[in-house]
Amino acid sequence: MNRRKLLSLRITTTTLLLTLLCISFAYLPAARAQRRDSPEQRTARYYETIRNRPPQLLAFLLRMPKGADLHNHLSGAIYAESYIQWAADQDLCINQTTMAFATCDQSSSQVPASWALKNGVLYRQLVDSLSMRNWQLSGQSGHDHFFDAFGKFGAVSGIQSGAMIAEAAKRAAKGRVRYLELMFTTDGGTASRIGNNVGWDGNYETTLAKLKAAGIGDVLVQSKNNLQKAEQDKDKLLNCGTAQADPGCAVTIRYIYQVSRGAALGPVYAQMVAGFTLASEPDSKVVALNLVQAEDSYFSMLNFTTQMKMLDFLHRQYPNAHITLHAGELAPGLVPPDGLSFHIRQSVMLGHADRIGHGVDIMHEDEPEDLLREMARRNIMVEICLTSNAVILGVSGKYHPLATYIEYGVPVALATDDEGVARSDITMEFMRGAEDQQLSYTQLKTMARNSLQYAFLPGPSLWLDAKKFTIAPQCANDTPAKPAPSQSCQQFLSSSEKARLQWDLEKEFGSFENRY
């Protein structure tokens, strides 16, 4: 090789080395900054890379800790397949005209429920009828098909409480949920029957006195006994306390007493009294009451304001009871325009709601911006049920108010509502949040934290500031990643069930985010 070519090669090599050196120096700050990023930041960056890759996104969300599910109807949480099996086990029948389970009689329209286990056509017809699977082919609206399903499995759900709680707990654990609040009529309808006998005389005080005289207080003992039996059955089914214990055994469960708002005022008021009584008891597993059933039904619309006034009166008698209310589970066309304008406001201002379920029609309320600011000021959390809102109300995507709640600083958390009927689960709600609502990882994590922050659990919160997630002073020098908290932090956690579950959630997030 001549001298000129050798010199040229040396220059080229030197230039290449200098170029690589410059690139390395240019990359070093970015690399160092990336190493300084927190596990949460690195996880959020990974999440963005899979946001538009559904299989990878699903795998990510299946592993993600989700805190609590605060809006979960126990009867609606059960999949149709379970109801069919239980109906067969109980020797019930199916009315082939209505597809409802019933006690067997001599009717020609009935066949034994066990037939469905041998007849594939009948089986799939039942699954479709008892859930939202293929509801578009039913000839009904999503709204009507959904609410009609509950009457069809009522003969089974009333006698399988323990098995139902077991199924809900098992699915919650699989979805990385550690706390459940299940809506459940714990007295089996006794309060409603007492209220039907007593009636409603238009006076809150005198009707309350009549209910007490009629034995409404006995509901407390009956509810405790019913819950004890149901939880014993649940523990047995899940092998709790044994080496083979299902992960569902570790899920903490509390109950919200259901008030059937679609009934006459007598039974509604009696159920409210029962709910307030149960939720006021020290150490009660019934932690709140809620008004359930279709918000657009005749009695629900006719008596809405009266029901809120009932809550207002009883709240003064039982000030320690928590209240969460279905409100704004409505959409244009479902009711007249005026019916969309006041339910959330009255639930907050008159009904003393600590939380709101759904809140879909918020922007149809009178002065919605003022209401949103008031909800943010009071920290009235909204239980967001995306699948339910999509299939029942047809509200999703940019038409859903979730982004508006977030914009105004109203705390929100995702929930399942009726995961069995809707054929969903908590992970699919997070999936909808990511895809349908374009939520970031940080927003999803905030919702998981919110779900425990606004749960009806005893004790102070782990968070001194629940918006910035500033930790309480007792644990300010601790991190969940440490093997054990300091003595002051441990004492604080031992004194508060809420803080303890929040601490455990942070430990789960630490392990989850370290993967990325």
Give dist(CA 504, CA 174) in Å, integer. 16
Q: Is residue 500 part of a domain?
A: no
Looking at 140, 157, 174, the residue that finishes a domain is 157
Amino acid 482: pLDDT: 79
Longest dimension (CA), the chain: 115
| Domain span at 128 | 80-157
Q: How confident is the model at residue 103 (pLDDT cuts 50, 70, 90)?
A: very high
Amino acid 19: pLDDT: 52
Q: Is residue 224 part of a domain?
A: no
Q: How confident is the model at residue 5 (pLDDT cuts 50, 70, 90)?
A: low
Q: How confident is the model at residue 207 (pLDDT cuts 50, 70, 90)?
A: very high
Amino acid 12: pLDDT: 57
pLDDT tens figures, 417-428: 999 999 999 999
338 pLDDT more than 70: yes
Q: Both 29 and 85 in a single domain?
A: no
Token duo for residue 126:
């039942």
Give dist(CA 65, CA 243) in Å, integer. 24
Strands (E), 219-321: 252-260, 286-292
Q: Is residue 249 part of a domain?
A: no
Q: Is residue 123 part of a domain?
A: yes
pLDDT tens figures, 308-328: 999 999 999 999 999 999 999
Q: Both 146 and 92 in a single domain?
A: yes
Please name which of 289, 44, 326, 59 lies closest in space to residue 191, comparing C-alpha atoms: 289
358 Cβ neighbours under 8 A, 6+ residues apart: 326, 327, 328, 329, 382, 383, 384, 385, 388, 389
Q: Is residue 235 part of a domain?
A: no
Amino acid 106: pLDDT: 81
Q: Is residue 491 part of a domain?
A: no
Looking at 157, 184, 218, the residue that finishes a domain is 157
Q: Both 47 and 111 in a single domain?
A: no
Looking at 132, 157, 182, the residue that finishes a domain is 157
pLDDT tens figures, 427-484: 999 999 999 999 999 999 999 999 999 999 999 999 999 999 999 999 999 988 777 8
Q: How confident is the model at residue 10 (pLDDT cuts 50, 70, 90)?
A: low
Give dist(CA 278, CA 287) in Å, integer. 8
Per mean pLDDT, which range of 29-38, 187-196, 198-207, 302-311 is the poorest? 29-38
Mean pLDDT of 358-375: 98
When divided into structural domains, the chain yields a total of 2
Q: Both 84 and 152 in a single domain?
A: yes
